[in-house]
Every structure is written in C-alpha cells, then in structure tokens.
Amino acid sequence: MNTAVTIAGVELKNPVMSASGTFGSGHEYSEMTDLNRLGAVVTKGVADRPWEGNPTPRVTEVCGGMLNAIGLQNPGVDVFIERDIPFLKQFDTRIIVNVCGHSVEEYLNVVEKLNDQPVDAYEINVSCPNVKQGALAFGQDAKVLEDTTRRIRDVAKKPVIMKLSPNVTSIKDMALAAEAGGADAISLINTLIGMKIDIEKKRFVLANRTGGLSGPAVKPVALRMVYEAAHAVKLPVIGMGGIACAEDAIEFLLAGATAVAVGTMNFAEPRTMEKVAEGIEAYMKKHGIDDVKELIAAVQD
C-alpha cells in the first residue's frame, strides 16, 4: 500500500500534517503523539523578529469549534533556527515553516534566513485575521496576492505554499492569483473571522473583539472552498478546516486535496493526526485502494 504523496517535489510519507499554530514546533505535543507518524510538521508562524501577539483573552470555545486571536506571538526566525529546527530534525518527518510578516520585506527576511536551513518548504501566511497591520491584507486582494507571491517566489530556494484566507468573495480568484504569482502549492482554509459576546458582562469575550473560527464547525465551508480552489488551479492543494478523523480527511482528498492538515482537533485529542493516518490506511485496505493518490479529486456527481 502506498500512502506517500508529493507536493511541489517534496515527498511526504503520508498526506497528514499539522495545521500551523496548533502544534507549536512539535515540541509540546511530541510526548503525546509520535511525530514520526506525520507526513510533515507545519510550524507556528515565524516572523523576522519576536512578536508579542495580542492581549488576552485570546481563545474561547464556540459550538463545534473555537475562536482564536493569538496575534502570531512567536520568537522570531533566529530562535527558530537555533532551537526548533534541531529539535524537528530528530524525527522522520518533513518540516514546513509557516512564515508571517507585516510587509513583503519581512516575509523575505525570514525566507532568506531559512533558505540555507534544512527545512522542506515554506507556507506563507497571507491570511491571518488577527494582526492589524498587513497579513490578511496580502491575502484579500488578488493583485496584491499575486505580487506578494511573485516576490517571495523570486527569493525562495524551497517550494512556496501560499496559505489562503476564506474571508474573500471568490476563493477561485485567489487560488488563480497565487498560481499566477508562481506559487508551488496552496493551502486552505485559514480561519473564518468570528465573534463572541458575554451577555452577562455585555463585553466581547476576546480582547481583540474578533477571532478566527476553526474546528469541526467550519468543515463544510472548508471542504467546499478546497473543492473550488483545487478545480481552479493545477497546483497541489493542502486542505484543512475542522478535520477530526480519517473520514473527514478522506472527504478533503476526494474534493481535490493532495494532503490535509489537522489543527484545532489536536487540542481535543492530541493523537488525532496519528489516528487520521491510521484511518486512511484502514479505509484503503477496506476499499482495495493501493495508492492514496487514487483518492485525490476522485469525487463524482
């Protein structure tokens, strides 16, 4: 049975990876789940210097999901190179670095520093809804997205995965813009902008007022967007949004994703990704599928 997939020349032993920001740099969860079982670890967003993030409360639960407004707190690329890459290199898994910035220059600073490091690809977060300056701005205007993608592609020595925002009128246009800018792959969805109000205190629950919605509550929307994006472009697609089990992951593969990422459900069950990888194998066995690639975009009317 072959569970390997290839994204922009990077072979993953299976199509299951972590969603950025829910898994740190793998360290925190490594005592609870086997990183060797993962196709890749996608890291928390890394900027060119340490970021403080937003005031608290930063997270809250909502029906079937959660809202977060972390604001990309991260130690910056220098600490990442010194501390997190050596840690991740101990495991037999791919390393995909999620990159964030307030300006194209800041993205480029990170990419330049990582170009000679043993990491496998960049995932460019142009879709964080929780940072006031920049970030989402790069991901909501097709022209800006295309231009940003091109400038990063020109500098990057590794595959560039553009992470798309669902907070747009046409996901298809954004996927096409990333493709036109030279992206090697796209990933989606980032979180949907949401809100929660405490009616006793008559206050916003999150200090940032709004936060990104994730978890099973977003899955149908995410699946539809992955389907639309995957059918608009020739690029490989990494699908995510509410994946809780192998069945969910298989839906994303059938919709056109080459690989899938698990985010919020790691909080509910730290072994979710391992279970998804096992469950995909069980499904393949049951249905006599020899190669997981047979599932990609196999959905029919």
Ligand X SMILES: Cc1cc2nc3c(=O)[nH]c(=O)nc-3n(C[C@H](O)[C@H](O)[C@H](O)COP(=O)(O)O)c2cc1C
CB 224 within 8 A of CB 175: no
Tokens of 275: 């279970």
Q: In this complex, which beta carbon is closest to other proteins, that of residue 8 or of residue 267? A: 267
The binding site for ligand X (CB under 6 A) comprises: 19-22, 44-45, 68, 70, 72, 98, 125, 128, 163, 190-191, 214-215, 218, 240-243, 262-265
Q: Which stretch binds other proteins (CB under 8 A): 23-31, 121-129, 141-149, 232-240?
A: 23-31
* Residue 19's binding partner out of ligand FAD, other proteins, ligand X, none, with CB under 5 to 8 Å set by partner kind: ligand X
Whole-angstrom distance, CA of residue 139 vs CA of residue 47: 17
DSSP character at residue 294: G
DSSP character at residue 35: G
* Residue 30's binding partner out of ligand FAD, ligand X, other proteins, none, with CB under 5 to 8 Å set by partner kind: none
Q: How far is the CB of 198 from ligand FAD (least distance, A)?
A: 9
The reply to whether 63 sits near other proteins by the rule CB under 8 A is yes
CB 124 within 8 A of CB 135: no
**Ordered alpha helix ranges (H), the chain:** 77-79, 85-89, 104-114, 136-140, 142-155, 171-180, 219-232, 246-255, 265-268, 272-286
As annotated, the active-site residues are 128
Binding track over 15-54 against ligand FAD, x by CB under 6 A: ----------------------------------------
In the numeric block, the tokens 């096992």 are attached to 278
The reply to whether 28 sits near other proteins by the rule CB under 8 A is yes
SS3 61: strand
Binding track over 201-220 against other proteins, x by CB under 8 A: --------------xx----
Rg (CA), the chain: 18
Among 11, 61, 92, 247, which residue interacts with other proteins (rule: CB under 8 A)? 61
Candidates 225, 214, 222; CA nearest to 20 is 214
Name the residues that contact other proteins, by CB under 8 A.
21-24, 28-29, 31-32, 44, 50-53, 56-61, 63-66, 68, 70, 73-76, 79, 215-216, 264-271
